Amino acid sequence: MELCADYNFTCILHCQNDMLALTELTHKPVTVTVMEVPIEKRKAEPKTVVLGQAVVDLLPLMRGQCSFSSTIPLHPFSNSLVRGSFQDLSGKQPMLDVSVSVSEPLLTEAELSASNLLKVTVETAYSLPDSWTLPANSASSCTYTAAMEVPATEKMDQVLVFSEGQLKAGGQREHTCRQKKRPHQARLAPENHFLPGTFFQEEPIDKEDGELTSLKDQEFRNDAEMLMNRVSWDTEMCCLLDAGGATRLRRMITESRLWPLEVMRSLAPVRKSSEASKLLDEEDPQIPFHGVAFVDMGRLLYPGVTRIRGAYSIQPFSEMELFNKTKRSTSVLKTVASQIIACGVSAASSGRGAGRNCIGGKKGAKEPAKEMYAEARTYIMIEITLEKPLVPRTSPEELARRVKELTIRPPSPAGPSRAERAVQDFHKQVGNVVNHVSEQYQELFGSGGQLPDARGHMMAQLMGELKISGRYFTFREQMKHAVVRVAQDTMQQTEPFTDQQDQKAFVSKLYAYLVDEIDLALNEIYSDDTEDDSSEEVQLSSEQLRHFAREAQFTGDYQLAARYYQELVVRHPNEASHRFEWGNLYMLTRDYMKANQCFHDAVSIQQTHRPSLMMCGLVAAMSQHFEQAASFLERATRIEPPSVVAWTLLDPEGGDLDSPEPQAQNIYASSIYAETLQFLLQNNALQMAEKALSHELQISDGGGSVCYLLHRAHLKTLKADYYSAIASLREALLHKDQTLCPLKINVLSMSPGSNKPAETHVMWTCEQNADVWALNGHCHYLAGLFTEARESYERSLNFQLQPSDSHLVLLRLGSICLQEGKFDQAKATYLQACEQSPSCLTWLGLGITCYRLEELCAAEEALTEANHLNNQNAEVWAYLCLICLRSDRQEEADLFYKYAKRFNLQKSSLLEEVRELQDQVHQSHPGSCLGTSSDAGV
């Protein structure tokens, strides 16, 4: 039988109706102490025994409840006798039934909907300075305090003070599933320190939001969290934000995403004394071992994000640094310190916050070296959560609807109307009649010609055979239906005639119309137009088209590139990637309207095509359409797997990471922006790339890292500022830090068969990186410095890992060798290009080198291959003309010259060379059919 005691005890608490008072209820629970008072007959004062303590959390009242009941455990204090009696209860935990009610809700429905609950958890500080663990006076104990100021209302702040830090020795890790603690533990029984149902969960370091997440940092953290001393708080504090406080929190994060968490180590509490009074009167109390960690709160402005957690480096406190990074001018701990001394009591946290730890030491005592935190690499684990996101996460359905509205595809061409289809059907039937008549004619007369005087007899014989074979009646019936459709749909005559004259007039009009259409149909069938008979059209594969499009884009032939992309889109109308790449071409030519249309078309085809979504967002942002940009970018962040680039572009601060971390962590932060910058450069979003580049410079503390210099060179190259790009590359190659941050090399093969870029992450120095030398070669080539370009290209090709744009490198290296008269080297270079990624330009280059080496047969074969891949290249036709002239094939030479002119041969030197050779051939063959003018027949 269970023992039970009925208390029937009621207590009334008066709660002020203001937000700070309500906030205190969230982290200051009601404690119920059970005492035993024996009934004695003696008049002496009875001895009271405290049996135990229970804790009632009032958080349900903050969520709109007017009443709740709970059964809570009753825990003993440290009294050994009482604790022993608890242990004698056969392992059963004493429980207390408690009911709580309020006369009316503490928050109205509107207030509850607009409010938010902010929770800050300070976990553990690791890798402590030696001075933290070795106090000068070993007889004195130390206390460890952390404090953070957060908004509570539109005009009032609250300081959250974590004052129960405990120094622990190293040797083992903190338990991963340990329980979180309440604040104000001094007045609670030991078992009541813990928050029921709240546990720390193990989380991979690379999934954290803070600093020290790189592979190198992970090794350091593993050692620190296993072997070194640490200070543990494991305490969670709550702050209730009203509507104004939630709005102010969002505004403050937007203005400065870095928020300070201050820490200090002090001696045991100081009682009120003359020394304390002296410190109380000081306007600027000294904070011993004053440090600060800057918590990046920016992710809380991402849609749907309610939690951040990570490790944050502790730095020596500096008011100047505090202002520069957070736009705050006062230390929270200094404000709290005066209140601690004034109170002289333990554990408290009010509207302006008060901690139990008091200031130890005298003013003027020797402060530890300011480098102690940097040398020890001290860091602290912090978690911040919100009950509701500051920026609500749009539902996938709503996002899909918005994106669909923004990317409504223009209606496809309506196609021919009924009238046009009627005429087309009539033309088709005319073609069928021609086929029937031609077949009957072939059966009767064969393909031989007949004398003119026999034509009438032939016509009669042909008509007779058509009727006998039944063909005449077949196509007459087919033509009848076509004529009826023309009369009804084209001539709009759907009603029967009531007047004979009207009928005759219509029939006459219809007859004239049909005769005209028959003439048009016959002209189409027997057209003598042979203008496009230059060469049999070769059906290129989609891989070849994509390869040729990118080649034309890289070589500056944007019109040809657009033609190839258009062909890809026509062949694959439901493939979003082709429209995306077409849009990139228009980004390069600064035709942002066409680029935007291409990206929108890609998204309308495939709403999960993340690159197109991101580019839609960027173009919208460039046009100041920020709501549209946010919709596109937020949609991009919802696609799996998560994208660092998409989240970075969605960053409300535009990626403004005023990172406070040390240089090692800057590399990690820089890598995020380096990846984003790489995406922007690859897709020719130069305006945004300039902004991202400035952020990368800020992260590197204004001292241009190697990554920054390389990205700057790439940007300057795209902007045609080649000499600035050369200067940046020269500085990168001579940079003192030749370890180079991790480069993400996008190997976008230009050979047929490669649809997607192959990504590889490699650690290289500048001088060992083929892409760096290739870029250096491109800059010199475009600046007209061909000797330096050739040297850089040759060096880039000497590495085991070839440059990612080796096709372009080989093309330009071959052209330089041609200009310098190094035909053998040019031939070898073009041969390599033809083997790796054949195109019209590689075969053209090989054909030119063979022609210059007097290898006419090989040259003609190479040029023929080039012509098969692109029969509209004027240079190919010009060199074929030269070969034919030198081979005494004058008719072919004349035809090829005509095509070279038709396709607008631009090279004046080549055109002059052709004309001079034509003159020579004409002089040696006076009867040449070339005519009096070399341009004849064009």
pLDDT band at 932 (very low <50, low <70, confident <90, very high): very low
pLDDT per residue over 416-453, tens digit each? 677 888 888 888 888 888 887 887 777 777 755 555 55
Rounded Cα–Cα distance for residues 201 and 222 (Å):
17
The mean of the pLDDT values for the chain is 79
Query: In angstroms, what CA-CA distances link 706 with 703, 717, 764, 799, 804?
Result: 10, 17, 11, 20, 19
pLDDT band at 701 (very low <50, low <70, confident <90, very high): low
Q: What's CA 366's distance to the chain center, in Å?
A: 50
Query: Dihedral sign, CA of 312, 313, 318, 324?
Result: negative
Q: DSSP states of 259-325 as a string?
A: EEEEEEEEESPPPS-HHHHHHHH-SSPPPTT-EEEEEE-GGGGSTT--EEEEEEEEEE--HHHHHHH
pLDDT at 122 over 90: yes
pLDDT band at 65 (very low <50, low <70, confident <90, very high): confident
pLDDT per residue over 504-537, tens digit each? 888 888 888 888 888 888 877 765 444 444 444 5
Range ranked top by mean pLDDT from 44-53, 496-505, 653-662, 718-727: 718-727
Rounded Cα–Cα distance for residues 236 and 707 (Å):
40
- Beta-carbon count within 10 A of 609 CB: 22
Rounded to 10 degrees, the C-alpha dihedral 197/203/208/210 comes to 70
Residues of the chain with pLDDT > 90: what percent? Answer: 27
pLDDT per residue over 204-231, tens digit each? 888 888 888 888 888 899 999 998 889 9
pLDDT per residue over 523-576, tens digit each? 777 654 444 444 445 578 889 999 999 999 999 999 999 999 999 998 898 999
Rounded Cα–Cα distance for residues 816 and 811 (Å):
9
> Average pLDDT, stretch 12-23?
78
pLDDT band at 43 (very low <50, low <70, confident <90, very high): low
pLDDT at 929 over 50: no
**What integer pLDDT is reported at residue 415 of this predicted model?**
55
Range ranked top by mean pLDDT from 54-63, 120-129, 922-931: 120-129
- What is the H or E stretch that residue 731 is in? helix 722-733
pLDDT per residue over 708-721, tens digit each? 888 889 999 999 99
CB 361 within 8 A of CB 275: no
Rounded Cα–Cα distance for residues 488 and 482 (Å):
10
Contacts (Cβ under 8 Å, ≥6 apart) of 205: 212, 213, 217, 218, 221, 311
**pTM of the entire predicted model:** 0.63
Label the pairing between strands 30-36 and 258-267.
unpaired
- The 3-state DSSP class for residue 149 equals strand
CB 23 within 8 A of CB 239: yes
